[in-house]
Amino acid sequence: MKANIVKEASMQRQKDMIAAHFELLARAHETGRKVVYTFVPGNLTELMLAFDTLPVHPEINALQAGMRKQSAGYIAEAERAGHSEDVCTYVKCDIGMMMKGNIGPTGQKLPEPDLLLLSYTGCFTFMKWFELLREQYECPVAMLHVPYQSTGRAEPAMIEYVVKQLRTEVIPKLEAVTGKAFDEDLLRTLLGNSVLAEDDLVHVLESAKHRPSPIDAYFGGVYYIGPLFTAFRGTPEAVEYYRMLREEVDARQAQGLGPITPEGPIDDERFRIVVEGPPNWTHFREFWKMFYDERAVIVASTYTKVGGVYDRGFRHDPERPLETLAEYCLGCYTNLDLATRVEMIVGYIEDYDADGFLINSIKSCNSFSAGQLVMLRAIEERTGRPGCFIETDLVDPRYFSASNIKNRLESYFQMLAQKQTGHEPVEAAS
């Protein structure tokens, strides 16, 4: 592994985009722009942009707080105010941050929401989260109930239900808050931009099928999905960003380079791993290091599909603007049944020729975690590749036990190494 990390241009571009967005947010009330809080899974960014609103994603603020080591304090604040230690830590982190003045990742105060757009997709906790925020901000909630794909299919009645809610609940509330009429043509244009960016994102994610993989599809992947999963899908900036990223990744691949890490690129990948579950944010670097020190590259991950499963073929369709938004919401990863999730991971292991898979089970997230041990056994049975199971949390550092996780990963990698050399019979490290 080489010592010096060279920041690629796309990284700087993304940083600039985010900084500009937070700058707009900080000045929103001055400039009269309306602010809509919403969630990443099932986000209706193009629709929000069609009304010229500025999106805020509380989960992103929470993860940023985790990375900046502020989440522990925010969670403690929320628990002092009566929130249970047992519940989703994203919610508590957000509420604690709000109680401490709602200072966002760039150090500027976030504006209060004019509307809470409750895209109720893939997680029941979202509903409680925005009910709690509504009490604090006393602003309206637009509820968009997205049925669960319990059989792995979006049935026509589900799509129709979501479209009707867009027409009768979400759009009227956006119109009321912004004073603007719904412009379907503008929405189509934005959706057209989304498709271009989505094509390029999929190209980037699929580059990991090569050996060596030019990307890390989990630790690096969280950067790659950033613009598309948040405030930028549908914008020309996102189109440019993904084109630039694609070119960089293509160039890396052409030169046979491996993924970039905080300590330089991995050019001699040793293990190819698929990961299920979100990362831990409080110890993101430390966690990543446990992989790159072993030259383990994540070739595919499910977390990078929470805001849309584009690599399985979904693209926004500008010709059917509301239907396509409905299908998008229905298809987000955590809105899929367990069998479909197993199917996807099995597909990744095979298509990306992975040595094994890791489940990072998030203690306080039932949406992702309930059932992962059953998934683990099903995937092992189907693929014959060993899985590893660890528990951490998204933003509560009390639940990240570095030594335990490191020990478990080390034995897992040892087992994979033995398997590669054919010395030992394979057994699951779960």
Partner 1 sequence: MGGPVMTKAELLARCEELYEDLDLTSVREWKEQNPGGRAVGYLPTYVPREILHAAGVLPVGILGAGEQLEIVRGDACFQSYICHLPRSVVELGLSGRLDVLDGMIFPSTCDVIRNLSGIWRILFPDKYTRYLDVPQNFAPEVGGAFYEVVLRELWSELCALSGREPDDEALRAAITLYDANRKLVRELYDLRAAEPWRAPASEAYLLLRAGMVLPVEEHTRVLAEYLALVREEERAMVDNARVLLTGAFCEQPPLTLIRTLERAGCDLIDDDFMPVLRWLGHDAGDALETDGDPVRVLAEAYLGDEQESACRFVPDGQPKGARLVETVRRRAAEGVVCAAPSFCDPALLERPMLQSALDEAGIAYTAFKYAENTGQMQPIREQAGTFADTIKLWGDE
Helices (H), 293-371: 321-331, 338-351, 366-369
The residue within the footprint of partner 1, chosen from 84, 255, 403, 421 (CB under 8 A), is: 84
CB of 292 to ligand SF4, least distance (A): 25
* Complex with partner 1: residue 171 or 260, whichever CB lies closer: 171
Which option in partner 1, ligand SF4, none does residue 394 bind, with CB closer than 5 to 8 A by kind? ligand SF4
Please choose, from the candidates 76, 82, 36, 42, the residue with its C-alpha nearest in 3D space to the C-alpha of residue 58: 36
CA 233 to chain centroid, in Å, comes to: 14
Which option in partner 1, ligand SF4, none does residue 65 bind, with CB closer than 5 to 8 A by kind? none
Q: Say if CB 374 and CB 294 are below 8 A apart.
A: no
Q: Is 372 in the site for partner 1 (CB under 8 A)?
A: yes
CB of 149 to ligand SF4, least distance (A): 16
Residues 6+ away with beta carbon under 8 Å from 207: 213, 214, 215, 249, 250, 253
The residue ranges that bind ligand SF4 (CB under 6 A) are 59, 88, 90, 123, 125-126, 334, 365-368, 394
* Complex with partner 1: residue 304 or 369, whichever CB lies closer: 369
Q: Is 427 in the site for partner 1 (CB under 8 A)?
A: no
Which option in partner 1, ligand SF4, none does residue 30 bind, with CB closer than 5 to 8 A by kind? none
Q: Say if CB 140 and CB 177 are below 8 A apart.
A: yes
Q: What are phi and psi of 281, to 5 degrees?
A: -95, -25
Which option in ligand SF4, partner 1, none does residue 323 bind, with CB closer than 5 to 8 A by kind? none
CB of 278 to ligand SF4, least distance (A): 7
The residue within the footprint of partner 1, chosen from 161, 209, 270, 406 (CB under 8 A), is: 161
Q: Quickly tell me which residue has 């398997």 as its tokens.
A: 419
CB of 178 to partner 1, least distance (A): 17
Q: Is 218 in the site for partner 1 (CB under 8 A)?
A: no
Distance of alpha carbon 61 from alpha carbon 41, whole angstroms: 15
Residues 6+ away with beta carbon under 8 Å from 283: 392, 397, 400, 402
For 127-192, list the strands marked E by DSSP.
141-145
The residue within the footprint of partner 1, chosen from 24, 76, 103, 338 (CB under 8 A), is: 338
Which option in partner 1, ligand SF4, none does residue 73 bind, with CB closer than 5 to 8 A by kind? none
Which option in partner 1, ligand SF4, none does residue 373 bind, with CB closer than 5 to 8 A by kind? partner 1
Distance of alpha carbon 335 from alpha carbon 95, whole angstroms: 25
CB of 353 to partner 1, least distance (A): 25
Residues 6+ away with beta carbon under 8 Å from 249: 203, 204, 207, 214, 215
- What is the per-residue binding string for partner 1 in 387-416, x denoting contact by CB under 8 A? ----x-------------------------
Three-class secondary structure of residue 272 per DSSP = strand
How, if at all, do strands 387-392 and 296-301 pair? unpaired
* Tokens (6 digits) for 390: 């660890």
Q: Is 160 in the site for partner 1 (CB under 8 A)?
A: yes
Please choose, from the candidates 308, 277, 279, the residue with its C-alpha nearest in 3D space to the C-alpha of residue 202: 308
Q: Is 6 in the site for partner 1 (CB under 8 A)?
A: no
Which option in partner 1, ligand SF4, none does residue 29 bind, with CB closer than 5 to 8 A by kind? none
The residue within the footprint of partner 1, chosen from 108, 125, 189, 253 (CB under 8 A), is: 125
Which option in partner 1, ligand SF4, none does residue 63 bind, with CB closer than 5 to 8 A by kind? none
Please choose, from the candidates 185, 229, 222, the residue with its C-alpha nearest in 3D space to the C-alpha of residue 39: 229
Q: Say if CB 282 and CB 72 are below 8 A apart.
A: yes
CB under 8 A: which stretch of 163-171, 201-209, 288-296, 343-351 binds partner 1? Answer: 163-171
CB of 364 to partner 1, least distance (A): 6
- What is the per-residue binding string for partner 1 in 126-155, x denoting contact by CB under 8 A? -xxx-xx-xx----xx-x-x-xx-xx----
Please choose, from the candidates 304, 273, 309, the residue with its C-alpha nearest in 3D space to the C-alpha of residue 390: 273
Measured CA to CA in angstroms, residue 422 lies from 38, 162, 365, 425, 426 at distances of 50, 52, 37, 8, 9
CA 262 to chain centroid, in Å, comes to: 20
CB of 40 to partner 1, least distance (A): 16
Q: Quickly tell me which residue has 């072993």 as its tokens.
A: 294
Binding site for partner 1 (CB under 8 A): 81-84, 86-88, 91, 118, 120, 123-125, 127-129, 131-132, 134-135, 140-141, 143, 145, 147-148, 150-151, 157-158, 160-161, 164-165, 168-169, 337-339, 341-342, 361, 363-364, 366-367, 369-375, 378, 391
